[in-house]
Amino acid sequence: MRNKWIVSVDDFRRASRQKLPKMIYDYLEGGALDEITTRANRVQLDALLLRQRSLVDVSAIDTSTSVLGQHIDVPLMVSPMGMLTIFHPGSDLAVARAAARAGTIFIHSAWSGCSLEEVVRVAPNLWAQIAFWKDPEETRSYVNRARNAGVETLVVAGDVGSSSKRERDLRHGLSMPPRPPLLDYLQTATRPGWVWRWLTGRKMTYGSYEIDGRPLRMKEMNSWMANNKNASASWEQFARLRAEWSGKLVIKGIMDAEDAARAVDEGADGIFVSNHGGRQFDSQPATIDVLPAIVAAVGDRAEVYLDGGIRRGHDIVKATALGARAVLAGRPFAYALAAGGEPAVDKTFAIFRDELKGAMGFVGKSSVQALDESIFARDTHAFLPESLSLV
């Protein structure tokens, strides 16, 4: 599909499917177990319908807002994603530069293929994700690196203590390094563009972790993870981090109002409502379903953000109207990266921004701050056949 025929995020999804080997596309698109939660994120957003208002002056729509004191031109940021290099050698750098051009914030993943310092150079306002590794010194030294790089906001990974079971990946033998069955090698041969970029482009590393002063190689990741993964991360660890980190602190992966309240009590500045796009724990609710209770529990003590299934400008409208300060998206930017590199990521931001402006106009609101529950159509049922299938 040529980029000029692409007019929606879903067009980029289909283009990425044509460009990527099946095992890589499945890694990008898949969720845990039966993918119920991945689908629910979309279905429940679609089920919210909006009221169209007439003859309201919407000639000057302002999509800007602020997050933790930082101005952003659009209430849409980039969720942290590891291993972006596997989709395109532009990797984090391409997405981070595009986010900066779109006037918004990129979150660097704790599992990124590019080092934090490298990405900060192209997107100085980024937020950095951190994980609580088994060795507290490992975490502390990463936090120090973030501080030295000038990062002001840390995002704690709050939903990675347990391992997920992504069956698409298991069937493809997508371990680290990948050990795919023969069929996958044959299928990969039908994606020469990807193969060429893979062989000639940026090498796949875990850029932010080092052994002997060089970035950790992909094949070393399994044993590094086995040594460092931490199933015993706790609120005490969060409280210690709070005491040591004077910048802003956000916790990602909150799906429960009690946890949100606890996080704020422990000093979180931002609550990031996320079920990891359904990639970790299946059969939990859509993020949009738990958002109102979390917003109520947090009040004005912290900002609340949401990701999971954001694919249209009107999805941004719905989530912000329900109390999210801003939303984030993951897969949409990875689809674009895989389909057309950095220009495609720019285009994805433009698509979101144009759709957002259109939706704000139709609901009769000229600013993000004016979006509230009055925009929803009540007592209606959405017609949902497409959302029910990920294929």
Ligand X SMILES: Cc1cc2nc3c(=O)[nH]c(=O)nc-3n(C[C@H](O)[C@H](O)[C@H](O)COP(=O)(O)O)c2cc1C
The residues assigned a catalytic role are: 276
| Residues near ligand X (CB under 6 A), total | 23
User: Of 65-73, 212-220, 326-334, 365-373, which part binds ligand X (CB under 6 A)?
Assistant: 326-334
User: Of 74-82, 163-171, 204-212, 315-323, which part binds ligand X (CB under 6 A)?
Assistant: 74-82
Kindly state whether residue 334 participates in binding ligand X, applying the rule CB under 6 A: yes
Residue with the shortest CB distance to ligand X: 330
Q: CB of 254 within 8 A of CB of 139?
A: no
Kindly state whether residue 286 participates in binding ligand X, applying the rule CB under 6 A: no
Q: What angle do CA 239, 303, 244 make, to 5 degrees?
A: 25
Q: Which is nearer to ligand X, 250 or 261 (CB)?
A: 250
Distances (CA, A) of 24 to 168, 336, 378: 10, 14, 41
Q: Which of 16, 65, 109, 348 binds ligand X (CB under 6 A)?
A: 109
Q: Which of 35, 6, 9 is nearest to 349 (CA)?
A: 9
Q: If you count them, how many residues does the chain have?
A: 391
Q: Which is nearer to ligand X, 326 or 329 (CB)?
A: 329
Q: Which is nearer to ligand X, 255 or 302 (CB)?
A: 255
Residues 233-262 that bind ligand X (CB under 6 A): 252
User: Of 136-144, 178-186, 329-337, 372-380, which part binds ligand X (CB under 6 A)?
Assistant: 329-337
Q: Which is nearer to ligand X, 163 or 367 (CB)?
A: 163
Q: Which of 113, 270, 277, 313 binds ligand X (CB under 6 A)?
A: 277
Residue 41 CB contacts under 8 Å (≥ 6 apart), including other chains: 275, 277, 278, 286, 287, 288, 308, 309
Kindly state whether residue 111 participates in binding ligand X, applying the rule CB under 6 A: yes
Number of helices (H), then strands (E), belonging to the chain: the values are: 15, 12
Kindly state whether residue 80 participates in binding ligand X, applying the rule CB under 6 A: yes
Strand, helix or coil for residue 106: strand
Q: Which of 36, 70, 82, 171 binds ligand X (CB under 6 A)?
A: 82
Is the bond into 385 cis (omega within 30 degrees of 0)? no
Show the site string, 41-70: x = touches ligand X by CB under 6 A, - = not: x-----------------------------
Residue 200 CB contacts under 8 Å (≥ 6 apart), including other chains: 89
Cα 241 off chain centre by = 23
CA 289 – CA 175 distance, rounded (Å): 33
Cα 111 off chain centre by = 13
Smallest gap, in angstroms, from Cβ of residue 332 to ligand X? 6
Query: What is the Cα Rg of the chain in Å?
Result: 20
Q: Which residues bind ligand X (CB under 6 A)?
A: 28, 41, 79-82, 109, 111, 129, 157, 252, 274, 276-277, 279, 307-310, 329-331, 334
